[in-house]
Structure 1
Amino acid sequence: MGETGRHKWFSFHHHRSASATSRPQHNPGETPTEFLCPITGFLMSDPVVVASGQTFERISVQVCRNLGFAPKLNDGSQPDLSTVIPNLAMKSTILSWCNRKKVEHPRPPDYAYVEGVVRARMDKEPPGTGNRVVARSEILPPVAENSPSDYDSVMGAIRSRSRNSISSSTSLPLHHHHRPSSEAENLNRIQSSFSTSDYSSFPPMSEEEEEIYNKLRSANTVDHEQGLILLRKKTRTSESSRVSLCTDRILSLLRSLIVSRYNIVQTNAAASLVNLSLEKPNKLKIVRSGFVPLLIDVLKSGSTEAQEHVVGALFSLAVEEENKMVIGVLGAVEPLLHALRSSESERARQDAALALYHLSLIPNNRTRLVRAGAVPMMLAMVRSGESASRILLLLCNLAACSEGKGAMLDGNGVAILVGKLREGGAGSEEAARENCVGALLTLSAGNMRFRGLASEAGAEEVLTDIVESESGSERLKEKAGKVLQAMRGGEREFGEGAEAREWNRMLEASGLSRSQFQGGQKEGFAYSSQF
């Protein structure tokens, strides 16, 4: 097979009988690495997200699971293959890329070839601690091409299990979207994907956990309510309880209750999850336990109060660097944008902005935001004065990618930002003014088109007033001076370190420093354990 038989982990010589579909139909050197399966190195035809957040070709996961092998990745980590969710967002992105590049759509690799690849890896990496056998029955079936989203089939299964476990009650039910009847045939096959059937190998429960666990596992809705209220109360202020109660047993039950039909159950489950998510060790564990699709479902169809807590949970989870990609891939961007624009709760709107800010710190999520129509929506919000400081901070991130910069220039962003500075004057909020100038500075970097648009909008006069004003911070004046320098053709390229320093300054001016986010303790944050 020559060079096409090589992949990221090791070299494997393909047998002559292997199917032609085992060969990549693209130039590996020109393909984005996130489109390639880490096992085969080939363009993925049926990508799936596993519990630990990585994306693989479905057949690659099936082979690993059938052989009871969990391989080590290049970074030394070992993927958790216990849960598989179809990644239709990634599949759509890959197909769009193929169409743009005039590359043949990828086909599934030959099973025998992938099995040979994995067996060769097993020979080089003898099974040890961490390699575990996973049941073949846990693999989720493919989702139909016209399925509304990656997680819809999983959600149907969990709702079905939740409905079967809850007795009749006078509590008001939530309204959920109806699923096509043909989907029902697949539900029984995937109900076990998020459940833990054997707790015998887990550490013994503390009295505190056992009391809550027994109430949550009851078939009685009243017990669910009491157990969740108790969990919420214990995790509100106690850091030690937040860590000790974030167990696989409790999380497994919360997964069912957070999509309950009953508002009070769903709301308390969401609030409890927010409290648990405050501790750094819990953030990865919660995401890897499969909560993100459930939170997105509540964000789409839950009660207003439950949605408010869910947005807070997504904000808290998005602070963790390793969660950013997974949350974006699983489809949280569009529901968060909707919450930012339309939520009845001011706190939910603020937390949605902060969640999107953290997600937009990685390039792939910036692209998702731009393609979801974030730029025109946010520019309209800036013009109307809604959450201007946070929205401007988000726009600074989006302007740092080529698609975002283009969308802002096309959407009259320069004139809107300049107009905002002009109407605000010296009495406007300092952080908003600084972020506004910061967004202009990001747009100006290496962009000839910016000069004409800024000149047409009268930016030079506005920025000169800022520089020469007796009021305003030195940082604000410095940024305004740099934008003027760019307009006059004397801009210099700023290195990555300089750009990072600019963003950190903007964060500090807004009271949103990264260290405060990581600690999760800044007073006044919506997820600061006041639930």
Structure 2
Amino acid sequence: MSSSRSDRKKAAKELMRVTKTSPSHRAAFGQIPNAFSTLLRPLSESKVELHLDLQEDLITTVLNLSTDDSNKAEMGENPVAIPLLIESMKYGTTETIINATAALSTLTQLDSNKLIIGKSRAHVTLLELLRAGHPLAMREAALTMTNLCTVHENKTRFIEIGAVPVILQMINGSMLVDELLGILAQLSTYPNAIEELREVDTVPCLFRIMRDSYSGITKENCAVILFSVCSKNEAFLRELWIEETNNRTLAELADTGTERAKRKAFDLILEMRRALPSLRITT
């Protein structure tokens, strides 16, 4: 990019424009040697937030370029790209923060990038955005977390920094319920996450969502979490039985849910029968 500050801004604006409108330019960009390092050099030479307009244009260009599959691996392996995206998720205009998060989300579509991003401490920034970011940034953060949580190490990282109580609080507040239930279902098979889920009123919350939701996937994720929380725990199975006696939510799910939801619902009913043989439990 041009060396003077004014020329850099003009070049960044033009590059943002052409990479937004032209797929061929996005693909061609990645073929240029050291293209991504050169693009990001103005941000890597000083604090990213010092030149907000230039930062916004460059990060938007990164987002545009990341949508081309041929660029994803090179961007993930570039030593400055992911760190600068994470910095721009913390400092910058609202548009910059949203676009930086969206770019990171796009990069997580590639499996090798999930490992790289997981080691970069992006999970801390993502959880902060999820907790208190702009609504669009929160949604992008949730999508990024969903993609990252297909990797075991990343699930452990999110649990260790307290993602479970944050997600539960947001679900109870009716925020991004469908998206966050998907993340919680991924985390709920881990012992530390199960302990945290058992410390709050998870069962009533999940049953309320199952009764109110029209989404088969949402109901499925609720059933997955319920199985993790209640399985092999008599106290929680008894709570489950009370709910089932009053509303027959699991019986209905075992009949009408997705295939996975049907299996989980049926397994929970069997668990109740085994653990509480004196109680009348029907399907």
Name the TM-score class by shorter chain. 0.7 to 0.9
Listed one character per residue, the Cα deviations across residues 485-517 of structure 1 (whole Å, up to 9, x for unaligned) are 233338xxxxxxxxxxxxxxxxxxxxxxxxxxx
Residue number among 436, 445, 466 corresponding to 2:222 in the alignment: 436
Instruction: Measure the CA separation in 2 of the matches of 1:308 and 1:283.
Output: 18
Residue number among 268, 271, 275 corresponding to 1:483 in the alignment: 268
Instruction: Measure the CA separation in 1 of the matches of 2:50 and 2:246.
Output: 54
Listed one character per residue, the Cα deviations across residues 48-95 of structure 1 (whole Å, up to 9, x for unaligned) are xxxxxxxxxxxxxxxxxxxxxxxxxxxxxxxxxxxxxxxxxxxxxxxx
Residue number among 115, 119, 138 corresponding to 1:325 in the alignment: 115
2:188 corresponds to 1:421: no
Q: Quote the offset at 1:248 in angstroms.
A: 3.9
2:41 corresponds to 1:252: no
Instruction: Measure the CA separation in 1 of the matches of 2:171 and 2:246.
Output: 17
Residue number among 88, 102, 108 corresponding to 1:312 in the alignment: 102
User: Residue type of the partner of 2:20?
Assistant: R
Q: Which residue of 2 aligns with 1:468?
A: 252
Instruction: Measure the CA separation in 2 of the matches of 1:377 and 1:286.
Output: 30
- Shift of the 301–238 alpha-carbon distance from structure 1 to 2, 3 Å rule, reads same
Alpha carbons 1:333, 1:368 under 8 Å: kept:
yes
Alpha carbons 2:56, 2:96 under 8 Å: kept:
yes
Alpha carbons 1:318, 1:355 under 8 Å: kept:
yes
- Shift of the 478–301 alpha-carbon distance from structure 1 to 2, 3 Å rule, reads same
Listed one character per residue, the Cα deviations across residues 376-416 of structure 1 (whole Å, up to 9, x for unaligned) are 11111111111101100000110122222222223443343
- SS for the counterpart of 1:448 is coil
- Shift of the 300–260 alpha-carbon distance from structure 1 to 2, 3 Å rule, reads closer
Q: Which residue of 1 aligns with 2:91?
A: 301
- SS for the counterpart of 1:460 is helix
- Shift of the 481–284 alpha-carbon distance from structure 1 to 2, 3 Å rule, reads same
Q: Which residue of 2 aligns with 1:227?
A: 11
Q: Quote the offset at 1:477 in angstroms.
A: 4.2
Q: Which residue of 2 aligns with 1:396?
A: 185
- Shift of the 454–470 alpha-carbon distance from structure 1 to 2, 3 Å rule, reads closer
Q: Quote the offset at 1:277 in angstroms.
A: 1.1
5 Å-filtered alignment, 1:106-505, equals 216-220=1-5, 222-246=6-30, 247-258=32-43, 259=48, 261-290=50-79, 291-344=81-134, 346-422=135-211, 424=212, 428-444=214-230, 447-449=231-233, 451-456=234-239, 458-461=242-245, 464-468=248-252, 472-475=256-259, 476-489=261-274
Listed one character per residue, the Cα deviations across residues 113-165 of structure 1 (whole Å, up to 9, x for unaligned) are xxxxxxxxxxxxxxxxxxxxxxxxxxxxxxxxxxxxxxxxxxxxxxxxxxxxx
Instruction: Measure the CA separation in 1 of the matches of 2:116 and 2:258.
Output: 39
Structure 1 stretches of 5 or more lacking a match?
Answer: 1-215, 491-531
Alpha carbons 1:400, 1:442 under 8 Å: kept:
yes
Q: Which residue of 1 aligns with 2:281?
A: none
Instruction: Measure the CA separation in 1 of the matches of 2:237 and 2:9.
Output: 57
- SS for the counterpart of 1:217 is coil
- SS for the counterpart of 2:182 is helix
Instruction: Measure the CA separation in 2 of the matches of 1:227 and 1:251.
Output: 14
Alpha carbons 2:86, 2:122 under 8 Å: kept:
yes
Alpha carbons 2:73, 2:110 under 8 Å: kept:
yes
Listed one character per residue, the Cα deviations across residues 193-223 of structure 1 (whole Å, up to 9, x for unaligned) are xxxxxxxxxxxxxxxxxxxxxxx23222x32
- SS for the counterpart of 2:121 is coil
- Shift of the 397–462 alpha-carbon distance from structure 1 to 2, 3 Å rule, reads farther
Listed one character per residue, the Cα deviations across residues 242-264 of structure 1 (whole Å, up to 9, x for unaligned) are 12112343312322334252221
What is the Cα-based RMSD across aligned positions, in Å?
2.5
Normalising by structure 1, we get a TM-score of: 0.47
Structure 2 stretches of 5 or more lacking a match?
Answer: 276-283
Instruction: Measure the CA separation in 2 of the matches of 1:333 and 1:468.
Output: 37
Answer with 1 or 2: which has the greater Rg: 1
